[in-house]
Amino acid sequence: MMEEYADRVWRGETGDSIADPGLSGRGVMTVADGLGWWPGFGNVIAFETEGHLALWDTSSPFSAGKLYEDVRGWSRAPLTAAFYSHGHIDHVFGTGPFEESGPRATVYAHEAVVPRFQRYLLTSGYNAVINQRQFQFPGLQWPTEYRHPDVTYRDALTVRLGGLTFDLFHAKGETDDATVAYVPEHRLLLPGDLFIWVTPNCGNPQKAQRYPREWVHALRRMAALDAEIMLPSHGAPIFGRDRIRQALLETAEWLESLVTQTLGLLNAGARLDEIVHAVRPPGHLADRPYLRARYDEPEFVVRNLWRLYGGWYDGNPANLKPAPDAVLARAVADLAGGAGKLADAAVKALADGDERLAGHFAEMAALAAPDDPGVHRVRADVFAARAAREASLMAKGVFTWAASESAERAGS
């Protein structure tokens, strides 16, 4: 059943990715003897071996109780080891219920996970806001207590547990603290979030630095392992050496193309604005079900590359020491004949199909007249329309949040 499901996802007949978890809530599904897959927003991989239970990733604080219940329906062995593929909160919060009812597990992770947790404490308010906006989860509170790893490593580590071997190595990509695992007894690759069944989450506009070039190297290193099973931490399994290699190598090709184009233009002295609107992913990979821009977007990756290699100055001298947004908006509104004129221009641009220009005019109108309900109705309409037409979760989240802000201000 699982291989049939994975085949449908591979053919693009059904979706299962970080943007649309397909089998969430089904409990632990057996992949092979002693190997279980728990699908959710943040998959968990379970191993039972010679009286030991091990987990690869441990889910979020919102699903830790359900994970415990489901895993206990699959295995009664004590949890003795857990591995964090990285330190995002949807991967590191599930050991608590196991340790409350049994022994303390040994948790393994890359050494950079600990500084990540420290950064989360410094920015807990910011992380609450941006994740409320990204996932449309208004009540989300960012955690301030974390289960720290017991064993950390820098480059590579081999862990033997019962009859299984976990060969771990460090990679940079979505994060700087990623761990990849290969379990030779199952010919199993565990890529964490380095493969998530959509284009790489490599440009998230609200999150910390990503590492596209290093991600390419990690994808090719994983492909060279010749695994027969790949169980990502988001999205469906992939079975078969050839499919795994194709998915990893084509994802590497897609991402490397953005890197090469961006660096070429950056080195030629182009402005960020020019690069963002010039770089395009390879067209011959557009139909791949694992390379759909459903979560992140190519132009966000370009901006992230600029931030990594070019700093924050975008090449426009007016933006080096700019006027406050509201001051500029009021000046433009005065030139246009009032904020209402800008709002009218936004409506016309939207009707003409220029959604980007409509967004600029609507935002300027609202900044110029922040207490005008009519202006906010236009802003709400513009960004609701933009959200409805976007494919990526990140763009949808920002635009929907903006539309909701103005709908509230307009009293609608």
Nearest-angstrom CA–CA distance, 357 and 341:
14
Write out pLDDT tens, residues 257-285: 999 999 999 999 999 999 999 999 999 99
Residue 138 pLDDT grade (very low, low, confident, very high; cuts 50, 70, 90) = confident
**What average pLDDT is seen over the chain?**
97
Cβ–Cβ under 8 Å, residues 365 and 343: yes
Task: Return the closest-CA partner of residue 288 out of 51, 42, 9, 95.
Answer: 9
Query: What confidence category does residue 212 fall into, taking pLDDT thresholds of 50, 70 and 90?
Result: very high
Instruction: Calculate the CA 388 to chain-centre distance.
Output: 20
Q: Which two tokens stand for residue 29?
A: 């599904």
Q: Which residues contact 137 (CB under 8 A, 6 or more apart)?
A: 131
| pLDDT above 90 for 21 | no
Q: Residue 411: its pLDDT value, please?
A: 87
SS3 148: coil
Q: What is the pTM of this model?
A: 0.96
Q: 281-335 pLDDT, tens per residue? A: 999 999 999 999 999 999 999 999 999 999 999 999 999 999 999 999 999 999 9
Instruction: Give the chain's end-to-end CA distance (angstroms, integer).
Output: 48
Mutual angle of helices 113-122 and 124-135, in 10-degree steps: 90
Q: Is the pLDDT of residue 412 over 80?
A: no
Q: What average pLDDT does the segment 227-249 reach?
A: 98
Handedness of CA 310, 174, 13, 238 (dihedral sign): positive
Neighbours of 26 (CB within 10 A): 12
Residue type, 73: G
List 198's β-bridge partners, or say none. Answer: none
